[in-house]
A = this chain, B = another copy of it.
């Protein structure tokens, strides 16, 4: 914030924008954020994790409901149970994959559950009274969306430190809720693997480099109506 410049656009009040140097680096951050699945065992300093969580907590939330709940999973038995859940879900996914895609699917490394020094289960408290339900009556799913905004903020904040994050979704949500012994009204949103990456990060997603999928042209995803 100290470096944010106040610009005047010729009108009678300031537009508090950031300078072009910052915007270029922000674009680089977004381009070089990756879903990391290969971690070094080195610990992540608590200060970095805490700083990133503090930023995540400033994410937008519907009606200021702040429904994100972060569980740092340190217990080895819980981690092993999550890994077992991944194995079951992934075996089922492989079976449901088109026969011609199976060989490539089986070669993909889709998570770093064994190696990541920090593991975090993120839930959304669907029954929170914080925010008094504002904005979420016709679209209660916006609470989970708020939680996703917090995760994405965490991801970018860690990436700015060089720390990697991988989002594991090939899991059984009810089993993860059971493992974490969360209250009834909490929805499982993401299992995050966090740590120092083994490799410098490319600008191309691994699924693209390995030929699983290509970047779509933005023009195909935008329309004026």
| A interface residues (Cβ-Cβ under 8 A, vs B) | 1-4, 7, 11, 13-18, 21-33, 35, 42, 51, 53-55, 57-60, 62-66, 68-75, 78, 89, 92-93, 96-98, 101, 105, 108, 110, 121, 130-139, 141-142, 144-145, 148-149, 152-153, 155-157, 160-162, 167, 169-173, 180-181, 189-190, 196-197, 200-201, 205, 207-208, 212-213, 215-216, 218, 221-225
Contacts and interface: CB of A to CB of B under 8 A. Distances in A.
A155 B212 CA distance: 29
A36 to B, nearest CB: 11
A46 to B, nearest CB: 11
8 contacts: A1-B32, A4-B28, A16-B201, A64-B208, A66-B216, A71-B223, A71-B224, A152-B152
B224 A72 contact: yes
A30 B1 contact: no
Contacts of A66: 215-216, 221
Most B Cβ at <10 Å: residue of A4, A72, A208? A4
A32 B57 contact: no
Contacts of A205: 64
A59 to B, nearest CB: 7
Contacts of A153: 30, 152
Given A145-B189, A153-B30, A173 B208 contact: no
Contacts of A212: 63-64, 131-132, 134
Contact of A58 (B31, B64, B135): B31
Contacts of A105: 134
A65 B135 CA distance: 28
Contacts of A189: 145
A200 B137 contact: no
A31 B136 CA distance: 23
A62 B110 CA distance: 11
A221 B1 contact: no
